[in-house]
A = this chain, B = another copy of it.
Amino acid sequence: MTAHATLDHIPREILCAADYEALAPQFIAAPALAYIAGASGEERTLRANRRAFDRWQILPRLLRDVTAGHTRSTLFGRAWQHPIALAPLAYQTLVHPAGETDTARGAAAADACLTVSTLATCPIEDIARASEGEKWFQLYFQPKREATLDLIQRAEQAGYTALVVTLDASVQSPSRRALRTGVSLPDAVNLARYGAAPQRALAADASVIFQGAMREAPTWADLRWLLSATRLPVLVKGVLRADDALALGEAGVAGLVVSNHGGRALDGVPASLAALPAIRRAVGRDLPVLLDSGVRSGSDIFKALALGASAVLVGRLQVYALSVAGALGVAHLLRTLHQELELCMAMAGCATLAEIDSSLICENPDVDPD
């Protein structure tokens, strides 16, 4: 089966945000789809991410007047129309020739904050120009500190308003699905100018993991350096432990993203949603805590907010929507999620995000098997 070309309209099959996932296989070639849909190891965390949302139910309140309702909030000193942002996703030209620039257009059209990956396939400056909306830059530490610094400065100059440093992916390897289909990834154009990583020979009894791959992994010292090296707020992505969250808050990060990289980092870690409540309790009410991994609907977002999230990031759905209908698809996806959230709030009797708290949810006695 060949993948369809991107449409210039939203197909009728799309009845809800999650339908983009169902439709994507018709628009993305199989190897690229395996790369995107797959996750690490046995994909246990991938499945856990979805099930974690099923573990909660919504307990709607009746007869509330929500006619003045809205989804606005203030995050990092700025007004957000809704708590739905785009997660950083590498290599978007895999699914659409315009890649991240079209995603940026879609995000801007839907008033959604966009996070651009270090591994974008369009120059980050071009992406920035494609959107007047809020946009963040996702940073992977580079083998050479100069390269990291250069990336930061380019992001600052291009108008990105925050850095999201991703910490859970020190060792990256394609999923087994992807290895089996033999995907070939495009270039991460933004890294081209920094040259290849320095080759260092490993001692005979050295470990390719500890002394090899982990040589470039960021440590607390690197994070402290980063915090001093930029004027932008720094969010840390990939937090799953309450003790790490607390220490990060004390170290001065501007916010956290509770995330397991959509199941693509270490397989077998908890669902992000499962990790969220303890993290929110640890850091208190003031530090912004975002969440991603598994968000597929407005009711997922409602549950994340009820459990303490300040906002959510949407990962795979964004490239599925991009593959189906380009910028239009991305904008439609975001608007659909927004509307699903509003519907859920309205029917649960919540007029504002602040009203969504844990009294509106309860544990699901039976979780659906996959």
Contact = CB atoms under 8 A, between A and B. Distances in A.
Nearest to A241: B59
Most B Cβ at <10 Å: residue of A47, A207, A213, A370: A207
Contacts of A54: 44
Interface stretch (A93-101, A267-275, A325-333): A267-275
A312 interface: no
A171 B343 contact: yes
Copies in the complex: 4
A69 interface: yes
A238 B243 CA distance: 38
B62 A210 contact: no
B171 A365 contact: no
B366 A51 contact: yes
Interface string A36-57: 0000011010011001101111
A236 B63 CA distance: 11
Nearest to A370: B368
A222 B62 CA distance: 12
Nearest to A351: B210
Interface in A175-204: 176, 179-180
Interface string A47-79: 110011011111111111111111100000000
A168 B66 contact: no
A344 B339 CA distance: 40
Given A60-B265, A63-B220, 10 more contacts: A15-B179, A41-B297, A58-B266, A60-B240, A65-B220, A68-B210, A171-B346, A210-B342, A266-B348, A274-B365
